[in-house]
Amino acid sequence: MRRSLPRLWFDRDRRRFVRGGCVMLAAPGLLVPRAALAAARSPTPAQTEGPFYPKTLPADRDADLTRVAGRAEAARGTRLYLSGEVVDETGRPLPGIAVELWQCDSFGRYHHAGDEGRPRDDNFQGFGISATDERGRYAFKTIRPVPYGGRPPHLHFRLAWQGRALLTTQLYVEGEASAHDAVIAAAPAGTLARLTIRPAAAAQEPGALAARYDFVLKGPLPA
């Protein structure tokens, strides 16, 4: 029986300088109260769901997309450990949020969505869910996204609370997307910069990448 992810992965290189309830910013000696910084958060921009959300959710939909239950081989592609937090506009962590991720495989094919073209990687799960813990943290193990059909590498996300969708969006790899993409061009100016991940070498395994992204939801949560 395959095992789910044993724990959350987080970017160990991320450093915070916190002294006396303040956060140090780029300018030396400049301290801003944590409350003021949190208040400045704005909700993560929404993006189109696209045509490839699963018509039927797969039986195997855990947070490790590189393995499919019942299959011996792992998925093709560069491993990507993606983690972060889900918070509201004040910076309060939101536990129990279902973070759904879906993306194409290394051949540019989606799974569970009527995309039946070949070649395809049947060892790639294609869709997964990570529920946020008490500190609002989520984590996935997947593959670095690849371009397909003229679109830049991207990851699809939907965040839901008790079955109610709160946000649908997409994340892009830094330096590999531009306003020439139709989805990005239709979004307000500055959206791409706010929906960018920056993969770097991961500590979890040789040759893997890691990235962090924090989602900000507009509160309060629905009753």
Report the C-alpha gap between 187 and 45 in whole angstroms.
9
Q: Give the residues across from 215 on adjacent strands.
A: 86
Q: What is the mean pLDDT of residues 150-171?
A: 97
When divided into structural domains, the chain yields a total of: 1
What the block records as the tokens of 82 is: 């993606």
Residue 31 lies in a domain: no
Residue 25 lies in a domain: no
Q: What is the CATH number of the domain that holds 193?
A: 2.60.130.10
pLDDT digits (tens, 9 = 90+) for 1-56: 444 454 555 444 443 333 333 333 333 333 444 444 444 589 999 999 988 898 88
Residue 211 belongs to what domain range? 41-217
Q: What is the mean pLDDT of residues 94-114?
A: 94
Residue 206 lies in a domain: yes
By the 10 Å C-beta count (0-12 exposed, 13-18 middle, 19+ buried), 84 is classed as buried
Report the C-alpha gap between 104 and 109 in whole angstroms.
5
Residue 23 lies in a domain: no
- Contact criterion met (CB below 8 Å) for 169 and 45: yes
* Residue 117 predicted with pLDDT over 90: no
pLDDT digits (tens, 9 = 90+) for 85-100: 999 999 999 999 999 9
Residue 33 lies in a domain: no
Average pLDDT, the chain: 86
By the 10 Å C-beta count (0-12 exposed, 13-18 middle, 19+ buried), 74 is classed as middle
Residue 3 lies in a domain: no
Residue 16 lies in a domain: no
Taking CA atoms, 79 is separated from 36, 41, 68, 97, 205, in Å, by 37, 30, 15, 24, 9
